[in-house]
Structure 1
Amino acid sequence: RFKVSQGTVRKAVDELAAENLLMRRQGKGTFVATHAEEQVQYRFLRLAPDQPSPLPGSARREFLDCRRLRAPVDVARSLQMKAGDMVVEVRRVLHFSGQPVVLDDIWLPGHMFKGLTADRLSEYRGPMYGLFESEFGVRMIRAEEKLRAVAADETEARLLEVELGTPLLSVERLAFTYGDQPVELRRGLYRTDHHFYRNELS
Protein backbone atom coordinates (compact mmCIF):
# COMPACT_ATOMS: atom_id res chain seq x y z
CA ARG A 1 0.00 0.00 0.00
CA PHE A 2 2.75 2.46 0.94
CA LYS A 3 5.32 0.87 -1.42
CA VAL A 4 7.76 0.25 1.44
CA SER A 5 9.56 -3.03 2.02
CA GLN A 6 8.94 -5.09 5.15
CA GLY A 7 12.58 -4.67 6.11
CA THR A 8 12.27 -0.88 6.07
CA VAL A 9 9.09 -1.00 8.14
CA ARG A 10 10.67 -3.40 10.63
CA LYS A 11 13.70 -1.13 11.02
CA ALA A 12 11.47 1.92 11.55
CA VAL A 13 9.45 0.06 14.20
CA ASP A 14 12.66 -1.02 15.95
CA GLU A 15 13.89 2.58 16.07
CA LEU A 16 10.56 3.88 17.40
CA ALA A 17 10.54 1.16 20.05
CA ALA A 18 14.10 2.06 21.05
CA GLU A 19 12.95 5.66 21.55
CA ASN A 20 9.98 4.46 23.67
CA LEU A 21 7.47 5.81 21.15
CA LEU A 22 6.21 2.28 20.51
CA MET A 23 5.83 -0.47 23.12
CA ARG A 24 6.05 -4.19 22.40
CA ARG A 25 3.83 -6.45 24.49
CA GLN A 26 4.58 -10.12 24.26
CA GLY A 27 1.73 -12.09 22.77
CA LYS A 28 -0.29 -8.95 22.03
CA GLY A 29 1.62 -6.87 19.50
CA THR A 30 3.14 -3.41 19.14
CA PHE A 31 1.33 -0.31 20.37
CA VAL A 32 1.84 3.44 20.54
CA ALA A 33 3.40 4.16 23.93
CA THR A 34 1.77 6.48 26.43
CA HIS A 35 3.33 8.27 29.38
CA ALA A 36 1.41 5.88 31.64
CA GLU A 37 3.75 3.10 30.53
CA GLU A 38 6.29 2.29 33.25
CA GLN A 39 9.18 2.51 30.79
CA VAL A 40 8.37 6.09 29.74
CA GLN A 41 6.85 7.62 32.87
CA TYR A 42 10.07 9.50 33.62
CA ARG A 43 11.38 9.64 30.08
CA PHE A 44 12.79 13.16 30.41
CA LEU A 45 13.89 12.98 34.06
CA ARG A 46 17.65 12.37 33.89
CA LEU A 47 18.38 12.62 37.59
CA ALA A 48 19.89 9.59 39.29
CA PRO A 49 20.99 8.96 42.90
CA ASP A 50 24.64 8.52 43.84
CA GLN A 51 23.62 5.34 45.64
CA PRO A 52 21.44 3.12 43.40
CA SER A 53 17.79 3.16 44.41
CA PRO A 54 14.40 3.14 42.63
CA LEU A 55 14.44 6.92 42.16
CA PRO A 56 11.22 7.43 40.14
CA GLY A 57 9.22 5.04 42.29
CA SER A 58 10.13 6.90 45.47
CA ALA A 59 9.12 10.34 44.17
CA ARG A 60 6.58 12.48 46.01
CA ARG A 61 5.13 15.50 44.23
CA GLU A 62 4.24 18.68 46.10
CA PHE A 63 2.30 21.22 44.03
CA LEU A 64 2.81 24.71 45.41
CA ASP A 65 0.86 26.72 42.85
CA CYS A 66 -1.17 26.41 39.66
CA ARG A 67 -2.60 29.57 38.14
CA ARG A 68 -3.51 31.21 34.86
CA LEU A 69 -1.71 34.40 33.87
CA ARG A 70 -0.60 36.35 30.85
CA ALA A 71 2.60 34.96 29.36
CA PRO A 72 5.79 36.91 30.07
CA VAL A 73 7.72 37.82 26.93
CA ASP A 74 10.39 35.11 27.33
CA VAL A 75 7.83 32.38 28.03
CA ALA A 76 5.67 33.44 25.08
CA ARG A 77 8.70 33.42 22.79
CA SER A 78 9.69 29.90 23.83
CA LEU A 79 6.14 28.57 23.38
CA GLN A 80 5.69 30.45 20.09
CA MET A 81 2.82 32.48 21.52
CA LYS A 82 2.08 36.17 21.63
CA ALA A 83 3.18 38.09 24.71
CA GLY A 84 0.11 38.46 26.88
CA ASP A 85 -1.56 35.22 25.75
CA MET A 86 -2.81 33.12 28.64
CA VAL A 87 -0.61 30.37 30.06
CA VAL A 88 -0.92 27.98 32.98
CA GLU A 89 1.95 28.33 35.44
CA VAL A 90 2.73 25.44 37.78
CA ARG A 91 5.28 25.31 40.59
CA ARG A 92 6.09 22.00 42.24
CA VAL A 93 8.74 20.28 44.32
CA LEU A 94 9.80 16.67 43.78
CA HIS A 95 10.86 14.82 46.91
CA PHE A 96 12.98 11.67 46.81
CA SER A 97 13.42 9.57 49.95
CA GLY A 98 11.78 12.36 51.95
CA GLN A 99 14.16 15.05 50.69
CA PRO A 100 13.26 17.94 48.34
CA VAL A 101 15.48 17.53 45.28
CA VAL A 102 13.84 19.28 42.30
CA LEU A 103 12.04 22.62 42.13
CA ASP A 104 10.11 23.00 38.85
CA ASP A 105 8.47 26.07 37.33
CA ILE A 106 6.31 25.02 34.38
CA TRP A 107 4.41 27.02 31.76
CA LEU A 108 1.76 25.56 29.44
CA PRO A 109 -0.37 27.19 26.69
CA GLY A 110 -3.62 28.19 28.37
CA HIS A 111 -5.89 27.29 25.44
CA MET A 112 -4.58 23.70 25.43
CA PHE A 113 -4.93 23.10 29.17
CA LYS A 114 -8.30 24.56 30.11
CA GLY A 115 -9.48 23.20 33.44
CA LEU A 116 -6.03 22.27 34.76
CA THR A 117 -5.90 23.04 38.49
CA ALA A 118 -3.63 22.31 41.43
CA ASP A 119 -6.28 19.95 42.83
CA ARG A 120 -6.42 17.97 39.59
CA LEU A 121 -2.64 17.73 39.47
CA SER A 122 -2.49 16.53 43.07
CA GLU A 123 -5.31 14.01 42.63
CA TYR A 124 -3.82 12.35 39.55
CA ARG A 125 -1.82 9.31 40.61
CA GLY A 126 0.30 8.91 37.48
CA PRO A 127 3.02 11.11 35.97
CA MET A 128 2.13 14.65 34.92
CA TYR A 129 2.69 13.87 31.24
CA GLY A 130 0.22 11.00 31.58
CA LEU A 131 -2.41 13.48 32.77
CA PHE A 132 -1.63 15.85 29.90
CA GLU A 133 -2.05 13.00 27.44
CA SER A 134 -5.18 11.34 28.85
CA GLU A 135 -7.21 14.44 29.76
CA PHE A 136 -5.93 17.15 27.42
CA GLY A 137 -4.82 15.13 24.40
CA VAL A 138 -1.29 16.56 24.49
CA ARG A 139 1.56 14.09 24.10
CA MET A 140 5.17 15.10 24.64
CA ILE A 141 7.31 13.67 21.84
CA ARG A 142 10.72 15.21 22.36
CA ALA A 143 12.48 17.86 24.40
CA GLU A 144 15.42 20.24 24.23
CA GLU A 145 17.37 21.19 27.34
CA LYS A 146 19.79 23.89 28.44
CA LEU A 147 21.93 23.24 31.52
CA ARG A 148 23.86 25.70 33.67
CA ALA A 149 25.05 26.09 37.25
CA VAL A 150 23.31 28.65 39.47
CA ALA A 151 23.28 29.68 43.13
CA ALA A 152 20.13 29.21 45.21
CA ASP A 153 18.31 32.43 46.09
CA GLU A 154 16.37 32.84 49.32
CA THR A 155 13.11 31.29 48.08
CA GLU A 156 14.82 28.43 46.26
CA ALA A 157 17.00 27.67 49.28
CA ARG A 158 13.94 27.53 51.54
CA LEU A 159 11.95 25.24 49.24
CA LEU A 160 14.87 22.89 48.59
CA GLU A 161 16.06 23.04 52.21
CA VAL A 162 19.60 24.13 51.38
CA GLU A 163 21.77 27.06 52.40
CA LEU A 164 21.47 30.38 50.60
CA GLY A 165 23.91 30.39 47.67
CA THR A 166 24.15 26.60 47.43
CA PRO A 167 25.15 25.53 43.88
CA LEU A 168 22.21 24.04 41.96
CA LEU A 169 21.89 22.55 38.50
CA SER A 170 19.49 24.59 36.36
CA VAL A 171 17.73 22.58 33.63
CA GLU A 172 15.53 24.49 31.19
CA ARG A 173 13.45 22.11 29.11
CA LEU A 174 11.27 22.89 26.12
CA ALA A 175 8.99 19.95 25.26
CA PHE A 176 7.34 19.45 21.87
CA THR A 177 4.30 17.56 20.64
CA TYR A 178 3.45 16.42 17.11
CA GLY A 179 4.32 18.86 14.34
CA ASP A 180 7.26 20.08 16.43
CA GLN A 181 4.95 22.40 18.34
CA PRO A 182 6.34 23.58 21.71
CA VAL A 183 3.79 22.89 24.46
CA GLU A 184 5.73 23.08 27.71
CA LEU A 185 8.49 25.26 29.10
CA ARG A 186 9.98 23.91 32.30
CA ARG A 187 12.72 25.47 34.41
CA GLY A 188 13.99 23.07 37.03
CA LEU A 189 16.52 23.51 39.80
CA TYR A 190 18.18 20.28 40.93
CA ARG A 191 20.07 19.51 44.10
CA THR A 192 23.16 17.50 43.26
CA ASP A 193 24.57 16.79 46.71
CA HIS A 194 23.26 13.21 46.52
CA HIS A 195 22.20 12.99 42.85
CA PHE A 196 23.73 13.48 39.42
CA TYR A 197 22.37 14.32 35.98
CA ARG A 198 22.71 11.44 33.55
CA ASN A 199 22.43 11.54 29.78
CA GLU A 200 23.08 8.98 27.07
CA LEU A 201 24.65 10.09 23.80
CA SER A 202 24.70 8.07 20.60
Structure 2
Amino acid sequence: MSYIRYHWGPSHTMAATPAPSADSPEGATPAFSPLYQQIKGLILQSLQAGEWKPGEAIPSEMDLAARFRVSQGTVRKAIDELAAENLVVRRQGKGTFVATHAEQHVRYRFLKLVPDTGEAGPAQRSILECRRQRASAEVARALQLRTGDSVVQVRRVLSFSGVPTILEDMWLPGNPFKGLTAEQLDAHQGPTYALFELEFGVRMVRAEEKIRAVAADAQQATLLAMPEGAPLLSVERLSYTYNDVPMELRRGLYRTDTHHYRNELN
Protein backbone atom coordinates (compact mmCIF):
# COMPACT_ATOMS: atom_id res chain seq x y z
CA MET A 1 0.00 0.00 0.00
CA SER A 2 1.24 3.47 -0.84
CA TYR A 3 0.50 6.38 1.49
CA ILE A 4 0.59 9.97 0.25
CA ARG A 5 0.04 13.08 2.32
CA TYR A 6 -0.70 16.32 0.50
CA HIS A 7 0.05 19.56 2.31
CA TRP A 8 -1.91 22.46 0.81
CA GLY A 9 -1.95 24.54 3.93
CA PRO A 10 -1.02 24.54 7.58
CA SER A 11 -2.81 22.05 9.76
CA HIS A 12 -3.37 24.50 12.60
CA THR A 13 -3.40 28.15 13.45
CA MET A 14 -0.64 29.70 15.48
CA ALA A 15 -1.35 30.75 19.03
CA ALA A 16 0.29 33.53 20.93
CA THR A 17 3.81 32.84 22.13
CA PRO A 18 3.49 30.65 25.25
CA ALA A 19 5.06 31.65 28.53
CA PRO A 20 7.15 29.27 30.64
CA SER A 21 5.14 27.23 33.10
CA ALA A 22 6.12 26.20 36.60
CA ASP A 23 4.63 22.80 35.76
CA SER A 24 6.91 22.29 32.74
CA PRO A 25 9.33 19.36 32.94
CA GLU A 26 12.77 20.30 34.18
CA GLY A 27 14.97 21.48 31.32
CA ALA A 28 12.03 22.01 28.94
CA THR A 29 11.89 25.28 27.04
CA PRO A 30 8.73 26.96 25.74
CA ALA A 31 8.17 27.01 21.96
CA PHE A 32 8.36 30.51 20.54
CA SER A 33 6.86 31.40 17.17
CA PRO A 34 8.06 34.39 15.13
CA LEU A 35 5.75 37.38 15.00
CA TYR A 36 4.92 36.85 11.32
CA GLN A 37 3.81 33.30 12.16
CA GLN A 38 1.44 34.66 14.78
CA ILE A 39 0.03 37.13 12.23
CA LYS A 40 -0.33 34.30 9.76
CA GLY A 41 -2.33 32.43 12.40
CA LEU A 42 -4.63 35.40 12.94
CA ILE A 43 -5.25 35.69 9.20
CA LEU A 44 -6.01 31.96 9.09
CA GLN A 45 -8.52 32.41 11.89
CA SER A 46 -10.32 35.01 9.78
CA LEU A 47 -10.28 32.68 6.77
CA GLN A 48 -11.69 29.85 8.86
CA ALA A 49 -14.41 32.11 10.27
CA GLY A 50 -15.43 33.09 6.73
CA GLU A 51 -14.58 36.77 7.13
CA TRP A 52 -13.23 36.67 3.56
CA LYS A 53 -14.84 34.22 1.15
CA PRO A 54 -13.05 32.20 -1.55
CA GLY A 55 -12.33 34.49 -4.48
CA GLU A 56 -12.68 37.68 -2.41
CA ALA A 57 -9.90 40.15 -1.75
CA ILE A 58 -8.43 40.32 1.75
CA PRO A 59 -7.46 43.72 3.22
CA SER A 60 -4.27 45.34 2.00
CA GLU A 61 -0.98 44.76 3.79
CA MET A 62 -1.18 48.31 5.13
CA ASP A 63 -4.68 47.75 6.53
CA LEU A 64 -3.71 44.43 8.08
CA ALA A 65 -0.60 45.99 9.60
CA ALA A 66 -2.77 48.66 11.23
CA ARG A 67 -5.29 46.05 12.37
CA PHE A 68 -2.69 43.85 14.04
CA ARG A 69 -0.40 46.72 15.08
CA VAL A 70 2.67 45.29 13.39
CA SER A 71 4.91 46.41 10.55
CA GLN A 72 3.86 46.01 6.93
CA GLY A 73 6.92 43.82 6.39
CA THR A 74 5.69 41.38 9.04
CA VAL A 75 2.30 41.14 7.32
CA ARG A 76 3.98 40.69 3.93
CA LYS A 77 6.02 37.75 5.23
CA ALA A 78 2.89 36.12 6.67
CA ILE A 79 1.04 36.54 3.36
CA ASP A 80 4.05 35.22 1.44
CA GLU A 81 3.73 31.94 3.34
CA LEU A 82 -0.03 31.77 2.80
CA ALA A 83 0.52 32.35 -0.92
CA ALA A 84 3.20 29.64 -1.05
CA GLU A 85 0.68 27.25 0.53
CA ASN A 86 -1.98 28.19 -2.07
CA LEU A 87 -4.33 29.62 0.55
CA VAL A 88 -4.24 33.09 -1.00
CA VAL A 89 -3.34 34.35 -4.47
CA ARG A 90 -1.49 37.58 -5.24
CA ARG A 91 -2.61 39.51 -8.33
CA GLN A 92 -0.29 42.26 -9.42
CA GLY A 93 -1.94 45.66 -9.24
CA LYS A 94 -5.15 44.18 -7.78
CA GLY A 95 -4.27 42.82 -4.35
CA THR A 96 -4.39 39.48 -2.56
CA PHE A 97 -7.38 37.15 -2.86
CA VAL A 98 -8.57 34.05 -1.04
CA ALA A 99 -7.68 31.07 -3.24
CA THR A 100 -10.55 29.11 -4.69
CA HIS A 101 -10.90 25.73 -6.37
CA ALA A 102 -12.93 27.47 -9.09
CA GLU A 103 -9.77 29.00 -10.55
CA GLN A 104 -7.88 26.85 -13.04
CA HIS A 105 -4.38 27.63 -11.77
CA VAL A 106 -5.15 26.84 -8.13
CA ARG A 107 -7.31 23.75 -8.56
CA TYR A 108 -5.95 20.94 -6.48
CA ARG A 109 -5.65 17.66 -8.29
CA PHE A 110 -5.08 14.94 -5.75
CA LEU A 111 -4.81 11.94 -8.01
CA LYS A 112 -3.50 12.64 -11.48
CA LEU A 113 -5.03 9.95 -13.61
CA VAL A 114 -3.94 10.59 -17.19
CA PRO A 115 -4.53 8.62 -20.41
CA ASP A 116 -1.73 6.47 -21.74
CA THR A 117 -2.07 8.21 -25.10
CA GLY A 118 -3.45 11.60 -26.10
CA GLU A 119 -4.67 14.45 -23.95
CA ALA A 120 -7.05 14.13 -21.00
CA GLY A 121 -10.47 15.42 -21.96
CA PRO A 122 -13.27 16.64 -19.65
CA ALA A 123 -14.94 14.07 -17.42
CA GLN A 124 -18.60 13.18 -17.82
CA ARG A 125 -20.17 12.63 -14.40
CA SER A 126 -23.03 10.30 -13.63
CA ILE A 127 -24.49 10.60 -10.11
CA LEU A 128 -25.73 7.17 -9.07
CA GLU A 129 -26.72 8.03 -5.51
CA CYS A 130 -26.89 10.99 -3.12
CA ARG A 131 -28.60 10.32 0.19
CA ARG A 132 -28.40 11.04 3.88
CA GLN A 133 -27.61 8.15 6.19
CA ARG A 134 -26.21 7.39 9.61
CA ALA A 135 -22.45 7.24 9.83
CA SER A 136 -20.91 3.83 10.33
CA ALA A 137 -18.23 3.51 13.00
CA GLU A 138 -15.52 3.62 10.30
CA VAL A 139 -16.86 6.73 8.55
CA ALA A 140 -17.55 8.46 11.86
CA ARG A 141 -14.00 7.83 13.03
CA ALA A 142 -12.53 9.27 9.83
CA LEU A 143 -14.73 12.39 9.92
CA GLN A 144 -14.43 12.82 13.69
CA LEU A 145 -18.15 12.29 14.21
CA ARG A 146 -20.13 10.00 16.49
CA THR A 147 -21.38 6.68 15.17
CA GLY A 148 -24.90 7.26 13.89
CA ASP A 149 -24.44 10.95 13.14
CA SER A 150 -25.88 12.19 9.86
CA VAL A 151 -23.65 12.03 6.77
CA VAL A 152 -24.29 12.55 3.05
CA GLN A 153 -23.19 9.60 0.92
CA VAL A 154 -22.57 10.15 -2.79
CA ARG A 155 -21.73 7.56 -5.43
CA ARG A 156 -20.80 8.57 -8.96
CA VAL A 157 -19.05 7.35 -12.11
CA LEU A 158 -16.67 9.55 -14.08
CA SER A 159 -16.27 8.73 -17.77
CA PHE A 160 -13.74 9.97 -20.31
CA SER A 161 -14.64 9.90 -24.01
CA GLY A 162 -17.69 7.85 -23.07
CA VAL A 163 -15.69 5.17 -21.23
CA PRO A 164 -16.49 4.76 -17.49
CA THR A 165 -13.11 5.13 -15.79
CA ILE A 166 -13.59 6.13 -12.13
CA LEU A 167 -16.08 4.88 -9.55
CA GLU A 168 -16.21 7.09 -6.46
CA ASP A 169 -17.95 6.96 -3.09
CA MET A 170 -17.92 10.08 -0.91
CA TRP A 171 -19.06 10.67 2.66
CA LEU A 172 -19.59 14.23 3.92
CA PRO A 173 -20.64 15.38 7.42
CA GLY A 174 -24.36 16.07 7.41
CA ASN A 175 -24.53 19.49 9.07
CA PRO A 176 -22.09 21.44 6.85
CA PHE A 177 -23.60 19.87 3.72
CA LYS A 178 -27.26 20.14 4.63
CA GLY A 179 -29.36 20.32 1.48
CA LEU A 180 -26.83 18.82 -0.92
CA THR A 181 -28.69 17.01 -3.73
CA ALA A 182 -27.85 14.84 -6.71
CA GLU A 183 -29.32 17.56 -8.92
CA GLN A 184 -26.79 20.10 -7.58
CA LEU A 185 -23.90 17.75 -8.16
CA ASP A 186 -25.12 16.87 -11.64
CA ALA A 187 -25.75 20.48 -12.71
CA HIS A 188 -22.43 21.89 -11.49
CA GLN A 189 -19.93 21.97 -14.35
CA GLY A 190 -16.77 22.91 -12.43
CA PRO A 191 -14.76 21.05 -9.78
CA THR A 192 -16.78 19.48 -6.98
CA TYR A 193 -14.71 21.35 -4.40
CA ALA A 194 -15.67 24.64 -6.05
CA LEU A 195 -19.33 23.68 -5.52
CA PHE A 196 -18.59 22.99 -1.86
CA GLU A 197 -17.05 26.46 -1.55
CA LEU A 198 -19.79 28.35 -3.37
CA GLU A 199 -22.85 26.61 -1.97
CA PHE A 200 -21.73 25.43 1.47
CA GLY A 201 -18.80 27.64 2.44
CA VAL A 202 -16.48 24.65 2.91
CA ARG A 203 -12.97 24.90 1.47
CA MET A 204 -10.65 21.91 1.37
CA VAL A 205 -7.07 22.95 2.14
CA ARG A 206 -5.20 19.64 2.42
CA ALA A 207 -5.68 15.91 1.95
CA GLU A 208 -4.19 12.52 2.71
CA GLU A 209 -4.44 9.58 0.34
CA LYS A 210 -3.84 5.85 0.66
CA ILE A 211 -3.29 3.93 -2.56
CA ARG A 212 -3.41 0.17 -3.16
CA ALA A 213 -4.09 -2.30 -5.96
CA VAL A 214 -7.36 -4.27 -5.88
CA ALA A 215 -9.42 -6.54 -8.14
CA ALA A 216 -12.87 -5.46 -9.36
CA ASP A 217 -15.80 -7.27 -7.78
CA ALA A 218 -18.95 -8.05 -9.78
CA GLN A 219 -20.75 -4.76 -9.05
CA GLN A 220 -17.68 -2.62 -9.62
CA ALA A 221 -16.91 -4.42 -12.86
CA THR A 222 -20.45 -3.79 -14.10
CA LEU A 223 -20.34 -0.06 -13.30
CA LEU A 224 -16.92 0.32 -14.92
CA ALA A 225 -17.74 -1.88 -17.92
CA MET A 226 -14.84 -4.24 -17.41
CA PRO A 227 -14.34 -7.93 -16.54
CA GLU A 228 -14.76 -9.09 -12.96
CA GLY A 229 -11.36 -9.45 -11.32
CA ALA A 230 -9.73 -6.82 -13.52
CA PRO A 231 -7.05 -4.73 -11.74
CA LEU A 232 -8.07 -1.35 -10.28
CA LEU A 233 -6.24 1.37 -8.42
CA SER A 234 -7.97 2.00 -5.08
CA VAL A 235 -7.54 5.48 -3.61
CA GLU A 236 -8.87 6.50 -0.20
CA ARG A 237 -8.72 10.23 0.43
CA LEU A 238 -9.43 12.21 3.58
CA SER A 239 -9.77 15.94 2.90
CA TYR A 240 -9.56 18.69 5.50
CA THR A 241 -10.69 22.28 5.79
CA TYR A 242 -9.01 24.92 7.96
CA ASN A 243 -7.82 23.97 11.43
CA ASP A 244 -7.40 20.33 10.42
CA VAL A 245 -11.13 19.53 10.42
CA PRO A 246 -11.95 16.50 8.19
CA MET A 247 -14.73 17.29 5.73
CA GLU A 248 -14.71 14.47 3.20
CA LEU A 249 -13.92 10.78 3.05
CA ARG A 250 -13.62 9.65 -0.56
CA ARG A 251 -12.92 6.19 -1.94
CA GLY A 252 -12.21 5.90 -5.64
CA LEU A 253 -11.59 2.98 -7.96
CA TYR A 254 -9.61 3.80 -11.11
CA ARG A 255 -9.22 1.81 -14.30
CA THR A 256 -5.61 1.46 -15.30
CA ASP A 257 -5.96 -0.39 -18.60
CA THR A 258 -5.99 2.90 -20.53
CA HIS A 259 -4.87 5.36 -17.82
CA HIS A 260 -2.03 5.65 -15.35
CA TYR A 261 -1.31 7.56 -12.17
CA ARG A 262 1.22 10.39 -12.47
CA ASN A 263 2.54 12.33 -9.51
CA GLU A 264 5.10 15.10 -9.85
CA LEU A 265 7.48 15.25 -6.89
CA ASN A 266 9.31 18.47 -6.10
Q: TM-score with structure 1 length normalisation?
A: 0.90
Larger Rg: 2
Q: Which residue of 2 aligns with 1:184?
A: 248
Q: Which residue of 1 aligns with 2:114?
A: 48
Q: Which residue of 2 aligns with 1:121?
A: 185
In structure 2, which of residues 158, 172, 194 is the aligned counterpart of residue 108 of structure 1?
172
Residue 208 of structure 2 corresponds to residue 144 of structure 1: yes
Residue 223 of structure 2 corresponds to residue 159 of structure 1: yes
Residues 1-202 of structure 1 aligned to structure 2 (within 5 Å):
1=65, 3=70, 6=73, 9-10=76-77, 13-53=79-119, 55=120, 57-202=121-266
In 2, the alpha carbon distance for the partners of 1:60 and 1:42 equals 19
Larger mean CA deviation between 92-101 and 65-74 belongs to 92-101
Given that 2:130 and 2:155 are in contact with CA atoms closer than 8 Å, whether structure 1 keeps it comes out as yes
SS of 1:156's equivalent in the other structure is: helix
In 2, the alpha carbon distance for the partners of 1:121 and 1:62 equals 9
Larger mean CA deviation between 13-22 and 61-70 belongs to 13-22
Query: How many residues are aligned here?
Result: 199
Residues 110-130 of structure 1 show CA distances to partners (whole Å, capped at 9, x for unaligned) of 111110011111112221111
Residues 156-185 of structure 1 show CA distances to partners (whole Å, capped at 9, x for unaligned) of 101111110001000000000011000100
**RMSD of Structure 2 on Structure 1 (CA):** 2.0
Q: CA deviation at 1:98?
A: 1.6
Change (3 A) 1:168 1:6: same
Letter in 2 for 1:50: D
In 1, the alpha carbon distance for the partners of 2:171 and 2:263 equals 24
Q: CA deviation at 1:50?
A: 1.7
Q: CA deviation at 1:41?
A: 3.4
Given that 1:20 and 1:39 are in contact with CA atoms closer than 8 Å, whether structure 2 keeps it comes out as no
Could you tell me the percent identity over the aligned residues?
Answer: 64
Letter in 1 for 2:73: Q
Q: CA deviation at 1:6?
A: 2.7
In 1, the alpha carbon distance for the partners of 2:264 and 2:84 equals 13
Q: TM-score with structure 2 length normalisation?
A: 0.69
In 2, the alpha carbon distance for the partners of 1:17 and 1:97 equals 36
Larger mean CA deviation between 102-111 and 91-100 belongs to 91-100
SS of 1:134's equivalent in the other structure is: helix
Residues 103-152 of structure 1 show CA distances to partners (whole Å, capped at 9, x for unaligned) of 10000001111100111111122211111111111000000000000000
Q: Which residue of 1 aligns with 2:6?
A: none
In 1, the alpha carbon distance for the partners of 2:71 and 2:114 equals 41
Q: What are the ranges of 5 or more consecutive residues in structure 2 without an aligned counterpart?
A: 1-64
Residues 69-125 of structure 1 show CA distances to partners (whole Å, capped at 9, x for unaligned) of 001111110001011001000001111122111110000001111100111111122
In 2, the alpha carbon distance for the partners of 1:185 and 1:58 equals 23
Change (3 A) 1:23 1:122: same
SS of 1:87's equivalent in the other structure is: strand
**Structure ranking higher in strand proportion:** 1
Q: CA deviation at 1:5?
A: 7.0
Change (3 A) 1:19 1:97: farther
In 2, the alpha carbon distance for the partners of 1:26 and 1:66 equals 42
Q: What are the ranges of 5 or more consecutive residues in structure 1 without an aligned counterpart?
A: none
